[in-house]
């Protein structure tokens, strides 16, 4: 009996050691109820926006000519017996349909911007931190210079030049067609989305680059990096296989928080008329269209405003949950 009792703690310890780091992170994240709820909410909203053609009974830009009340409140029934769940806008287009399509475009822009900018920032920051010297000095001065530029005025100017002048990027037809199919938009609208994504990426990689630079500076002096060098591993292998993976924890948190910021920034540009233009729906330009009618129809700005706020808050809660889950100082 004594032997059996003595082996129980050993088996428990062995089982605890077998638990992977990913499982530990997932378990910590699941403790953050708001983060879990936010993740489920984001998945549901994004899934609904992707299934918009199936969920909705109206085409995106279809005008209901059977009603003269525009905007019309939720629950309006057209001549064919179809219900406008959230009403119609000032032109007569179904708001429920457009808010789903807007979510598809707004979320696609945010995810694309964050993926591209974080990847670019991670690579540049890793190079600066690993090599140091003049490489670090040049990249650090560039980051400091770009951070000193007031973001919103520059974005307004650049967006006005590129968006308002119908700038066409020399993109392959395959890429344009793919983007158009994903967004369920025309090729011209897809070009506008790409232009806005590139504008936001230009200023979006700076935070990730600074975080990864700091991680690379601390990691490059670790014993395992010296061992890899002594074994003849190339700098490329060390950076891509060891420096970047070991420094990803703060990058993941930064990316989740950046998603909410990009959503708000895109909505602000579209609200000011310098982002995605009508008839392409985004939550920002839907709010801009509702401002002329909001005193007579106060529910109108809530249609795009509520999902915009919910998605932004959800990304912030997910970032909080990831920060707690990836913190090595927390107990298992």
pLDDT tens for residues 194-207?
888 888 898 899 99
Full-model pTM: 0.86
Q: Mean pLDDT across the stretch 214-238? A: 88
Q: Count Cα atoms within 13 angstroms, Cβ side, for 291.
A: 8
Tokens of 156: 């307004």
pLDDT at 22: 81
User: What pLDDT is recorded for position 102?
Assistant: 93
pLDDT band at 143 (very low <50, low <70, confident <90, very high): very high
Q: Would you state the pLDDT for residue 99?
A: 94
Percent share of the chain, pLDDT over 90 = 37
The pLDDT value given to residue 1: 46
Other CB atoms within a 10 A radius of the CB of residue 325 amount to: 21
Structural domains in the chain, sorted by start: 22-65+77-325 (1.10.3720.10)
Residue-level pLDDT at 57? 86
Specify the residue for token string 């520059």.
154
- For the stretch 9-30, pLDDT in tens is 555 555 555 667 788 888 888 9
**What is the distance between the alpha carbons of residues 278 and 282, in angstroms, rounded to a whole number?**
8
Long-range Cβ contacts of 285-288 (<8 Å, 24+ apart): 286/89, 286/95, 286/98, 286/99, 286/102
């Amino acid at each position: 009996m004594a032997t059996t009792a003595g082996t129980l703690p050993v088996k428990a310890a062995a089982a605890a050691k077998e638990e992977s780091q990913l499982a530990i992170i997932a378990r910590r994240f699941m403790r953050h109820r708001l983060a879990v709820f936010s993740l489920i909410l984001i998945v549901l909203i994004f899934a609904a926006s992707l299934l918009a053609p199936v969920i909705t009974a109206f085409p995106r830009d279809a005008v209901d000519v059977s009603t003269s009340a525009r905007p019309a409140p939720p629950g309006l029934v057209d001549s064919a017996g179809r219900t406008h769940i959230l009403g119609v806008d000032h032109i007569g287009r179904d708001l429920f349909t457009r808010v789903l399509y807007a979510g598809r475009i707004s979320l696609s822009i945010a995810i694309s911007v964050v993926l591209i900018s974080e990847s670019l920032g991670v690579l540049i920051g890793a190079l600066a931190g690993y090599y140091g010297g003049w490489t670090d000095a040049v990249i650090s001065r560039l980051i400091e210079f770009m951070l000193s530029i007031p973001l919103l005025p520059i974005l307004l100017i650049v967006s006005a030049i590129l968006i308002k002048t119908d700038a066409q990027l020399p993109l392959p037809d395959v890429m344009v067609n793919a983007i158009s199919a994903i967004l369920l938009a025309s090729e011209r609208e897809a070009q506008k989305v790409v232009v806005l994504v590139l504008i936001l990426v230009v200023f979006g990689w700076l935070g990730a680059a600074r975080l990864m630079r700091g991680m690379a500076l601390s990691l490059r002096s670790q014993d395992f990096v010296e061992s890899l060098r002594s074994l003849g591993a190339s700098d490329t292998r060390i950076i891509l296989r060891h420096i970047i993976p070991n420094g990803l924890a703060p990058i993941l948190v930064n990316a989740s928080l950046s998603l909410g910021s990009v959503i708000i920034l895109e909505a602000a540009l579209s609200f000011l008329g310098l982002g995605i233009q009508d008839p392409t729906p985004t939550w920002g330009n839907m709010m801009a269209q509702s401002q002329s009618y909001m005193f007579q129809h106060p529910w109108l700005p809530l249609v795009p405003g509520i999902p915009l706020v919910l998605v932004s808050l959800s990304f912030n809660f997910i970032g909080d949950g990831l920060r707690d889950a990836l913190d090595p100082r927390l107990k298992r």
